[in-house]
Chain A
């Protein structure tokens, strides 16, 4: 059975003002419904730029993006209703407690009353934060902050969830909990678009992977397809190194 695409990208280009070179150069690919799509690439490859455009943080220089049948640029507010974004940096109010942060962000997604409270409590419990929920976020460890950062983006149960390196700087326990619940969320129907430098994590977590370098997609497929199709590769990390070469990046 052929999966239906939820995101279609055609000739996407982004050149930042004053930049000599485009950060994203005519990229085209599509992401199917219910995929866990890994966008992998070295630093400065264009991963965050693509995700930022898909989240409508800034417009592309050219190209076409269709998200769940809606054109980016024309239906921004409708698109924002169905997406969730977990930013690379912690985006929480440090002087508010986890509960207060989640209440505020949940409200911004249009959730309210008993439904909002229930969802907050459910997620706090799932991610092991109930006991610390009334403590200010500034007192949290890096892993706890990451977990609250995640909950703030999924309270409204988005159709599409963008995660920009969601497990960076967290311990193994926190990483496992995060990946476990993201998988559960995906099973409930959320398409996940994810960037990471953890190749092992991506290999096990993603159903589809695209490797990007210098603003262009080099390859795309399931992790197993990429491993089999790339010579001298037994895992995704070797695929990545073989395709993007071992030269250090900025």
Chain B
């Protein structure tokens, strides 16, 4: 039996090695895919975090609010702030035109006298809070005499999330300026009421920030791991490529049926399962090899292109288990598709479309947490999601073998289920 299995493995390996196009689909295309997708995603990542959102500011205020907003946005690293357009000082009209032409994603116009208006409003608020005469005491509400309108020109292509970031920043800066002015006004009012020798605290506002926050990623990986495009994309696209072996594998099963080899094998004292086992072993090895190549992209090639190096986490055994489980799941799925399909074309179409669907559902294209609730529930049914979760557990959260056992077990069970289905369908198809 072992000799027959070895012969089957040898045959499958030779056929695979002689299929140059098949080999390129299995190895070169996925490497290119990981490389391109990571670079593309990294650019998108950088556009927000490194290069920043291009913003033009028209500061007609020339006072505290205008300066604060400009400086605040500049230091936030969220944006690249400009106050000129094509060398000319920005005006509201030019800003609107530049945004509509896509030169900037957002244009902010701070109106003239904005700071003065804030001061006036705050002054009224302070006066009402600290009345100096009886009339004022009887007033219960404060009339806001001036209001300011900061105008935002938005390029229609701007993502809602970008806009939310900018507007929340603006709110924060306005709030800071308002608080600052309020504090100053209060300080001045208090100073007026205090005896002359008592000094009101100077720069008191600057000393008031007592609550800070620090971003710490909940990961057990030793060292500083900052989630990035490499860390997210390499495992995701590796899984996608591993599952894409469905196409050559299902195609190979169909080819054997069409070329009559399966017919001959059914007349021989060897089970069809033996032939399939030979295929499974070869294609699992192919998947493992694919994984190694993809990791080499993350560890060697992407850093050469200036991207961060892939961090593999703390458990090589864990990586081996998840990779093996993913390989078996992908191979089992390929065998099932190859058994169900009636023609090579059918196998190719069903195989590729179902993998695209399962990868989209599994969170390979967009993270599952931004999916609608129903889709989030469905996504956990995708084997690609289990594989992705397994790799994220290792690469991002720094877990060990214990952390990936559930996902690996699901993938192995998926393999058993697909093989059982393939076996039943094969029997049904033969029982004509």
Contact = CB atoms under 8 A, between A and B. Distances in A.
A152 B267 CA distance: 12
A83 B264 CA distance: 12
Interface stretch (A29-37, A99-107, A191-199): A99-107
B11 A87 contact: no
Interface stretch (B14-22, B124-132, B410-418): B14-22
Interface in A132-154: 136, 152-153
A83 B269 CA distance: 9
A191 to B, nearest CB: 16
A16 B260 CA distance: 20
Q: Max chain A CB contacts within 10 Å: which of B10, B256, B260, B265?
A: B260
Contacts of A108: 4, 7-8, 265, 268-270
B24 to A, nearest CB: 16
Nearest to B15: A95
B216 to A, nearest CB: 56
Contacts of A55: 266-267
B305 to A, nearest CB: 37
Contacts of A17: 432
A120 B18 CA distance: 23
Interface in A87-111: 87, 89-96, 100, 103-105, 107-110
A59 B431 contact: yes
B75 interface: no
A85 interface: yes
Contacts, number: 80
B25 to A, nearest CB: 16
Contacts of B6: 107
Contacts of B263: 57, 87, 89, 91
Contact of A89 (B260, B267, B268, B431): B260
A55 B430 CA distance: 13
Interface of A is mostly: loop
Q: How large is the interface on B (under 10, 10 to 19, 20 to 34, 35 or more residues)?
A: 20 to 34
B267 A85 contact: yes
Interface of B is mostly: helix
Contact of B15 (A77, A93, A112, A153): A93
Contacts of B15: 93, 95-96
A110 B269 contact: yes
Nearest to A83: B267
Interface in B259-304: 259-261, 263-270
Contacts of B3: 107, 110, 112
A107 B4 contact: yes
A85 B264 CA distance: 7
B252 to A, nearest CB: 10
Interface residues of A, number: 33
A175 interface: no
A58 B432 contact: yes
Q: Max chain A CB contacts within 10 Å: which of B8, B261, B270, B430?
A: B261
Nearest to A86: B264
A55 B266 CA distance: 9
A153 B267 CA distance: 10
B261 A93 contact: yes
B261 A91 contact: yes
Contacts of A136: 18
A56 interface: yes
Contact of A103 (B7, B259, B260, B270): B7
Interface of B: 3-4, 6-8, 10-11, 14-15, 18-19, 256, 259-261, 263-270, 430-432
15 contacts: A16-B432, A55-B266, A77-B269, A87-B260, A92-B261, A104-B8, A104-B11, A105-B264, A107-B3, A107-B6, A108-B7, A108-B270, A109-B269, A110-B4, A112-B3
Please give me the 9 A-B residue pairs with the lowest Cβ-Cβ distance, nearest first. Answer: A91-B260, A107-B7, A91-B264, A85-B267, A80-B269, A108-B270, A104-B11, A55-B267, A108-B268
